[in-house]
Structure 1
């Protein structure tokens, strides 16, 4: 064992492939005094028994970028370190056994091309040429990626560890991190124990790479890292005579994957209902351990596999393996700076894709630590997306029964989690259910996504085509466009910023001008130093010393953390008050008439113009009316304390009955906002999307003397835009858009849609996406012809830089 030094610049806890990758990449950036502590031996948790599948394509462009980086890294590691990684580009095939799955994988193929990944749609006959052992009965289609590969997981980790050691890192095995010392929001040192010896190492940073121990390591570091170990099964056959190298094969409709390895076949499973493991804690002596066999659990997978791969019926089983792997509540791994602490970082919870993700994740985290800023948008995996309650052990046990199986489930649009539901409920929850609400879940919040008609089943029937709620959302959409609708916005984050420096602080952290009268609402962004968008919010001045920042539900913690990390010497207090108020949005041409029926206050343009808030009486209660909109119509958001919320709902519902007011859901809000060209944070605008290229320059007050991102905004303004956000509408009303569909400009793929939905008032599917256009004017961008690739079919699209619906925003200001 190497002796543990008394100080390190960074202590990495956990010696699986992720921890080794973080150490490797930090030293590659020149970091010295890098110490990795592994409780047992390197790879002894999950890494050693991973299947080693290395695919390029992930669900988003940046996750694909990280996966491609991993593959390129592993191809060169052996030359650098002398450790054989077993990495081979054998290709991969994914087959579809249903029409729905075929649409999914063909949409993924289009996405791959937009992301720069080589992909080929192949017929069942072509599958058989590449995989002669496969029974292609029932195969509807397939995709082939020739550069996908497989490798030796343990040796990849050991090669990364050796590379880190060669540049000075200390990789210390059989040394467990047992505790920490802390000062405020920083860890100052880590206690360790090894073979009866104990000690303490002071440090500047700590990285939690604890794998399935990540949850308890996170608790030790005063951070929230929700994940749960689940059992993962595979079998390895005896040697099969004449078996040659084959592509990796995935048959998600049968929950199975296949890998040839040294003349044997490995069959692995992601079964629909998984088995959480070690709910009472992982045994202290766990090291290279297997879990008890459960053949009954695996048998349905094996039965299908023998039919799909007949040679398995003749091959003996050499190994029946069951080992634990960690899964997160949303099947995305955890990466980044922990919201609760300023020098704690996380890379854990890799949901069975740790080998293919480790290289890229280690690179991205190391660069983030080096620069103090994300190298590009990592919102999909940023640990700050996790809500505090998600560390609840009962919640994790229930949710993890589903998340493993979701890896190979149909990834339908709008698919909702089925487990661990009903945790966060708004004050209107039961009222909405009583009136036909079909609930979805976001950040734990139960939200009405659409409303069923009398006699209609109140559940989703998923499809890539028009789902069962399509007509319901169309009716809700048109009610808001033509009459009046009401929907629940309580789940949106509400953060109170107050103190004598509140105005000056917000003017520094945000791009807008917050030196405004009490009652003024400012739509704004928080920018990073590159001019990218860290948050998309509204800020309402409540008093001389207090503001309310309203954020998307999923980013409340991230947005609050961003503000807290930039407080510096400003005298402000930042408080989450989300649960304190219910919020009802009243939207549509008759919104004013409805409010006048329940309130004596004046809602005229003279008293309450667009972008202002006022205290009101409503029914027998008190509330605050914010005149803003995310649907592009006249409307108000009514904020009312939780105790009076139900009463206000009843007053509005009763008054609205005579006006045919329609209750609406979140899907309606999305279809309306895309017609209006309103951006969706996390899809259309992210940390790497420049605010000017996003078309949001109007929200930035460039003449302010100092705010985060000002220099980047002025530089971009002077140099010109490299890309523009464009709105599209398909001219064929039948196809549907979701996101990531390739944008084809004059016959060439130039990008992909960042978001998509159906424009019911405009009669076609719509999308937003960035079109690269360096040195090109707006007129030149629009002079081109555009198509959108929908599952391999190119569909003509109209393009606009202005909102296609009400481009002058006249309807919101009437």
Structure 2
């Protein structure tokens, strides 16, 4: 055995395709002192038994970019390293057996065109020509991606490892990392064992690519890495006479995929209810191991497959394989620096798409580590989205029974997770439940999405058309516009920033002017050095030395990590997460002032309580801090209430609002109201890749206040001009629906995608937002074009606006 070195710049833990890709890409960037340690042998965990499917189209543009990068990399690796990768771009076909699935895959085809991925909608007859063995009797539609394909996963990992070694990386097998060392919140190295030997490698950085071992390894360092292994099944037939090369075939309605390889057929499955594995840990000698066969579990898939592919009825089974793979609570992998420990990086939890993901993920992580910023928006897979409670093993075991099957489930809009629910509840949960609330979940929080009427079922009936709650959303939306609505928004992230340096610290991080009067609320962004948006928040000045920030619940861990990362050692600032301590009731609508005045003796007039300010108020027999802001475009207040008084305040408001038409409202209505007002949504409309000026948020940037992060990028963009602009769209036909990721068509050409959308019940049609290229153009040029939005291959006329279509002068918020 080669003894590990005493020092390294980076130690990569895990020798699957993910770890090998990170090593390869860091080495390509010129890094030296790279050490990869594998507890057994390269590829011996999951990589060796992966199916090796290469599907380029993913759910977002940047995830698609990474998958395309992987495919391109695997094509050229063989020439670079001399190791055959088995990469074949033989294409893929996805067939639909239902109208809903056809709508889904045709929407995906539109998305593929927007992302410059070659795609063709094909008829059942054309499918039969490409795949003569297929029973197409009940096929209603299909899409073909010619440049998809398949590969040999183990050989690709070996090729990446060889490419890394050729550039100086050290890759050592049979060396187990036993702990990650840290001091003062930063990685300092690892300890290792190899047989009878043991030692320490001092290192600046560590990358956890430990796959299904990664969770427990991370947990030992206090790092949250929520993943859990599941059993994953496939069969490989004996050689089938005259079986020629075929595209990869996916039949998601039957949970199955098919791959021809060397004259044999592989049939794999993503069954709706999976079998978690390794709850009590993974045995020490696990290496190239299989799990026990469970033919009863696989039999329903096989029965459908024999009908779909009749040649399977007479084909002998050469291999019945069952092996473990790691899955995450939201079916997306983890990438980035862990917020708990500086220098602790992660690339793990690939949810059975690790082969197509790892090439691009290794590239992106290496760039991120090298530059200090990701190469583009990676929020889809950012480790900072993980919630601390999600490391709970019982929670993970229950949740991953569902997430494995989601890969091939119908991806209906607004689909809710069904397992591991009810973990984070607001003080009003039972109150809302008794009044008809139908809950959704974000970051573990149970949030009322809509309220059922008396006698109406309290369940989602999913569809690509109007779902069963569409009318409920309309009633709630119009109540906010015409009378008043009451929302429970206790899931907001709430952060207190205090100390003698709190003001200069926030001035440096925030783009807006933070030196405001006590009681003022500032809407602002935190920018990166490229002018991209890292956080979208409001900050209220509570005192000379204390501020209160409000962020979306889903981004709380990200925002906390950003704030703590940029806190200097000589700054006296304390950052405290107050999310669970305070509830938030949001009272919005033209009758809001009348309602709140019935339960509070405070003065809520414009003169005494203007927009953009906060005051402590008496309410009922309790106290609250009232913030006069809005995310729906109406008069109203966000009420921040101690958790122990929340139910009392809710009951007081509910009673006071009866005569004024107050209606309980859910998150679906909140979203449809905000889309009419063209308010941006972080993670969809604005990300760390979107320049704050191009997002139309220049009004919240004050370059005259002095230096702050991103200021130079703002000044450069103002000088150079915008290359694209955020535009709001309304479909002229009131029937079609927009969700997001539909294609924006300008003068007959696809130029972008809809970043977020909903139905505008006041405006009477679907509303969407998205960026439009505009280099060298005036407002009149942008608005002078003809716009359409393509939905599942059909184009619909749309009108465009650079101002909010609802109340463009914001008069209603200042009523």
TM-score, with length taken from structure 2: 1.00
Alignment of 1:660-739 (within 5 A): 660-739=661-740
Aligned residue number for residue 301 of structure 2: 301
Distance of 2:178 and 2:398 partners within structure 1: 28
Q: Secondary structure at the match of 1:326?
A: strand
Aligned residue number for residue 606 of structure 2: 605
In the alignment, is the contact (CA less than 8 A) between 1:187 and 1:221 conserved in 2? no
Q: Secondary structure at the match of 1:578?
A: coil
In the alignment, is the contact (CA less than 8 A) between 1:15 and 1:37 conserved in 2? yes
Distance of 1:180 and 1:303 partners within structure 2: 48
Deviation track 1:286-333 (CA, whole Å, cap 9, x = no partner) reads: 000000000000000000000000000010000000000000000000
Q: Secondary structure at the match of 2:259?
A: strand
In the alignment, is the contact (CA less than 8 A) between 1:221 and 1:344 conserved in 2? no
Distance of 1:316 and 1:180 partners within structure 2: 48
- Please say if 1:743 is aligned against 2:740: no
Aligned residue number for residue 483 of structure 2: 483
Alignment of 1:120-135 (within 5 A): 120-135=120-135
Aligned residue number for residue 511 of structure 2: 511
Aligned residue number for residue 813 of structure 1: 814
Q: Secondary structure at the match of 1:460?
A: coil
Shift in Å, 1:652: 0.5
Aligned residue number for residue 587 of structure 1: 588
Distance of 1:660 and 1:707 partners within structure 2: 46
Aligned residue number for residue 205 of structure 1: 205
Q: Secondary structure at the match of 1:377?
A: coil
In the alignment, is the contact (CA less than 8 A) between 1:124 and 1:136 conserved in 2? yes
Distance of 1:206 and 1:245 partners within structure 2: 42
Aligned residue number for residue 115 of structure 1: 115
Distance of 1:235 and 1:225 partners within structure 2: 31
- Please say if 1:790 is aligned against 2:791: yes
Aligned residue number for residue 634 of structure 2: 633
Distance of 2:767 and 2:793 partners within structure 1: 17
Shift in Å, 1:58: 0.2
Shift in Å, 1:3: 2.0
Aligned residue number for residue 657 of structure 1: 658
Alignment of 1:556-575 (within 5 A): 556-568=556-568, 569-575=570-576
Aligned residue number for residue 780 of structure 1: 781
- Please say if 1:331 is aligned against 2:311: no
Distance of 1:567 and 1:187 partners within structure 2: 18
Aligned residue number for residue 83 of structure 1: 83
Shift in Å, 1:705: 1.3
Alignment of 1:64-463 (within 5 A): 64-463=64-463
Distance of 1:571 and 1:113 partners within structure 2: 51
In the alignment, is the contact (CA less than 8 A) between 1:598 and 1:651 conserved in 2? yes
Shift in Å, 1:733: 0.4
Deviation track 1:584-610 (CA, whole Å, cap 9, x = no partner) reads: 000000000000011000011111100
Shift in Å, 1:179: 1.5
Question: What's the Cα RMSD here?
Answer: 0.5
Aligned residue number for residue 578 of structure 1: 579
Q: Secondary structure at the match of 1:380?
A: helix
Q: Secondary structure at the match of 1:668?
A: helix
Shift in Å, 1:222: 2.5
Distance of 1:179 and 1:534 partners within structure 2: 32
Distance of 2:48 and 2:248 partners within structure 1: 19
Distance of 1:180 and 1:788 partners within structure 2: 50
Shift in Å, 1:464: 0.6
Distance of 1:693 and 1:109 partners within structure 2: 28
**Structure 2 unmatched ranges of 5 or more:** none
Distance of 1:607 and 1:705 partners within structure 2: 31
Q: Secondary structure at the match of 1:798?
A: strand
Shift in Å, 1:243: 0.4
Q: Secondary structure at the match of 1:485?
A: strand
Distance of 1:2 and 1:760 partners within structure 2: 68
Aligned residue number for residue 770 of structure 2: 769
Q: Secondary structure at the match of 2:236?
A: strand
Distance of 1:115 and 1:761 partners within structure 2: 32
Q: Secondary structure at the match of 1:693?
A: coil
Q: Secondary structure at the match of 1:87?
A: coil
Distance of 2:184 and 2:475 partners within structure 1: 52
Q: Secondary structure at the match of 2:655?
A: helix
Distance of 1:660 and 1:637 partners within structure 2: 19
Deviation track 1:383-427 (CA, whole Å, cap 9, x = no partner) reads: 000000000011000001100011100000000000000000001
In the alignment, is the contact (CA less than 8 A) between 1:629 and 1:636 conserved in 2? yes
Distance of 1:704 and 1:342 partners within structure 2: 31
Distance of 1:779 and 1:35 partners within structure 2: 56
Q: Secondary structure at the match of 2:460?
A: coil
Aligned residue number for residue 45 of structure 2: 45
Shift in Å, 1:220: 2.7
In the alignment, is the contact (CA less than 8 A) between 1:96 and 1:140 conserved in 2? yes
Aligned residue number for residue 495 of structure 1: 495
Shift in Å, 1:628: 0.3
Shift in Å, 1:92: 0.2
Distance of 2:57 and 2:586 partners within structure 1: 39
Shift in Å, 1:521: 0.3
Distance of 2:182 and 2:331 partners within structure 1: 31
Shift in Å, 1:450: 0.2
Distance of 2:222 and 2:345 partners within structure 1: 12
Q: Secondary structure at the match of 1:776?
A: coil
TM-score, with length taken from structure 1: 1.00
Q: Secondary structure at the match of 2:586?
A: strand
Shift in Å, 1:195: 1.3
Q: Secondary structure at the match of 1:703?
A: helix
Give the count of matched residue pairs: 814
Aligned residue number for residue 758 of structure 2: 757
Deviation track 1:772-805 (CA, whole Å, cap 9, x = no partner) reads: 1111111100000000001110000000000000
Distance of 2:178 and 2:88 partners within structure 1: 39
Shift in Å, 1:221: 3.0
Q: Secondary structure at the match of 1:658?
A: helix
Distance of 1:784 and 1:660 partners within structure 2: 42
In the alignment, is the contact (CA less than 8 A) between 1:2 and 1:170 conserved in 2? no
**Structure 1 unmatched ranges of 5 or more:** none
Shift in Å, 1:2: 2.4
> Runs in 1 of length 4+ with deviation above 4 angstroms?
none
Shift in Å, 1:137: 1.3
Shift in Å, 1:709: 0.1
Distance of 2:435 and 2:333 partners within structure 1: 37
